[in-house]
């Protein structure tokens, strides 16, 4: 069934009525075999534009395009929607919690569960190295275009969770390790010069810590109010929250690398989630509004430097947006019943 129309009067430069389906360039089904349910899959976009998926589902075979996959697989899809590689892999868990890729095509995946194992794969998607990251199903991980890896690991000692921060070479060898202690690391971000930003929370509150690329020494610390949803290589970050006046509206705020608030914008929406940065510097976020028939999902495009709205368009339904450039955005999720999958959309 066709979804609700997007009114052109709200779209600058639009000269006709559009539906959200009009924005779909291509769509590859990713669903549980024989059903309309989405399969367990995690995805990232490499610096060269290649899309990398970890596809696995403990309950069913997976329909991926015209292929039926049983067990864990890695796949590469071109930016034009061509399935280039599909490789079965031996995974320690059926759940991939984080997927990242570098500029050379190497892939790093955190396979979660009651504990997490991090595995490095070459550009041919064959396993190169593996290491246990410890307790917890979703430990933070970042991979730089150069292949440098930042990873948090957790061990339990006398009932206390002890967190360490590791910096790894592309082959999985440890450059340095720093004990963080009884704290949480929410997000890791590798800077352009190889320094590592960790966003921590613990008894001393929340802060951003900068670690030296050479040995992990602490170079600076900055107090922050809440964990960021989006981080930048220079240490800047974006936070999403709600207005302190108690109103049911979402707040998107950008902070500079020195912690200074650059801008803050209020949106009269039920939720604003999953902000990502486009290659042109804009911010794309998903919003939901309450309607009589249930939540209505929209895509919001914001100028990354000023916070001013650039555009807003209806989404067919909820998709997990994972990457965007100046011309397209990419989503994984329910595109429109019964088609479930990986899709590229034209940027509105």
Residue 260 vs residue 13, higher pLDDT: 260
Q: pLDDT, tens digit, for every residue of 282-300?
A: 998 888 776 666 667 788 8
pLDDT for res 292: 63
Residue 58 vs residue 85, higher pLDDT: 85
Q: Is residue 128 packed enough to be buried (19+ CB in 10 Å), middle (13-18) or exposed (0-12)?
A: middle
Report the mean per-residue pLDDT for the chain.
83
The two beta strands, 250-255 and 261-267, are antiparallel
pLDDT for res 92: 76
Q: pLDDT, tens digit, for every residue of 214-259?
A: 999 999 999 998 889 999 999 999 998 776 666 667 889 999 999 9
Burial 41-54 (b: 16+ CB within 10 A, else e): bbbbbbeeebbbbb
pLDDT for res 290: 67
DSSP string of 176-197?
EEEEEES-EEEEEEE-TTS-EE
Is the peptide bond between 125 and the residue preceding it cis, with omega within 30 degrees of 0? Answer: no
Residue 27 vs residue 2, higher pLDDT: 27
Q: Residue 6 above 50 pLDDT?
A: no
Q: Residue 14 above 50 pLDDT?
A: no
Longest dimension (CA), the chain: 66
Q: pLDDT, tens digit, for every residue of 84-125?
A: 999 998 877 767 778 999 999 999 998 876 778 899 999 999
Domain with CATH 2.40.10 in the chain: 140-224
Q: Residue 323 above 70 pLDDT?
A: yes
Which residues are CB-contacts of 159 (< 8 A; sequence separation ≥ 6)?
Answer: none
Q: pLDDT, tens digit, for every residue of 28-53?
A: 988 888 777 777 788 999 999 999 99
pLDDT for res 1: 29
pLDDT for res 246: 60
Q: pLDDT, tens digit, for every residue of 133-188?
A: 877 656 789 999 999 999 998 877 777 778 899 999 999 999 999 998 888 899 99
- Is the domain covering 140-224 a CATH 2.40.10 domain? yes
């Amino acid at each position: 069934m066709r979804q609700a129309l997007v009114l052109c009067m709200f779209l600058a430069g639009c000269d006709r009525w559009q539906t959200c389906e009009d924005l779909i360039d291509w769509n590859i089904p990713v669903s549980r075999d024989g059903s309309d349910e989405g399969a367990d899959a995690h995805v990232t976009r490499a610096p060269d534009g290649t899309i990398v998926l970890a596809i696995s589902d403990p309950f069913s075979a997976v329909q991926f395009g015209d292929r039926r996959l049983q067990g864990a697989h890695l796949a590469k899809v071109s930016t034009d929607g061509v399935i280039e590689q599909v490789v079965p892999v031996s995974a320690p868990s059926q759940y991939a919690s984080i997927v990242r890729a570098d500029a050379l095509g190497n892939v790093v995946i955190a396979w979660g569960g009651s504990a997490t194992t991090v595995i490095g794969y070459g550009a041919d998607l064959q396993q190169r190295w593996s290491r246990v990251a410890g307790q917890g199903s979703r430990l933070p991980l970042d991979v730089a275009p150069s292949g440098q890896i930042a990873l948090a690991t957790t061990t339990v000692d006398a009932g206390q969770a002890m967190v360490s921060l590791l910096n790894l070479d592309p082959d999985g060898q440890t450059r340095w390790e720093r004990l963080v202690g009884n704290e949480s690391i929410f997000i890791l971000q590798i800077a352009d010069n190889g320094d590592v930003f960790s966003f921590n929370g613990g008894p001393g509150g929340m802060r951003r810590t900068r670690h030296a690329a050479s040995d992990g020494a602490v170079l600076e610390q900055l107090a922050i109010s809440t964990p960021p949803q989006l981080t930048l290589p220079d240490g800047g970050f974006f936070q999403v929250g709600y207005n302190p006046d108690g109103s049911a509206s979402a707040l998107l705020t950008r902070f500079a690398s020195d912690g200074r608030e650059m801008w803050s914008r209020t949106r009269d929406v039920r939720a604003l989630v999953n902000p990502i940065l486009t290659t042109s510097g804009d911010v794309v976020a998903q919003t939901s509004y309450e309607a009589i028939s249930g939540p209505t999902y929209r895509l919001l495009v914001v100028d990354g430097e000023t916070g001013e709205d650039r555009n807003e368009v209806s989404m067919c339904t909820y998709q997990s947006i994972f990457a965007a450039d100046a011309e397209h955005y990419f989503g994984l999720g329910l595109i429109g019943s019964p088609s479930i999958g990986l899709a590229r959309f034209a940027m509105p």
